[in-house]
Amino acid sequence: MKYRCIVCAYIYNPQDGDPESGIEPGTSFEDLPDDWVCPLCFVGKDQFEPC
């Protein structure tokens, strides 16, 4: 499942991960570190919703 940042609309896609932040492809949103932030606007995971 993909998750969308409610602040800037960035989409976290588990298939892609977030290589710039060291997040490997295949990492589910739930398995992201608690201190992970949106790579575009830097808000926390609590500002994301399923999409």
Q: Is 8 labeled as ligand-binding?
A: yes
Q: Is 38 annotated as a binding residue?
A: yes
* C-alpha dist (Å) from residue 22 to 4, 46, 51: 19, 20, 23
Tokens at residue 9, please?
Answer: 């609309």
Q: Measured between alpha carbons, how far is 29 from 19 in angstroms, rounded to an integer?
A: 14
51 is in an annotated binding site: no
Binding site membership: which residues? 5, 8, 38, 41
Binding site membership for Fe cation: which residues? 5, 8, 38, 41
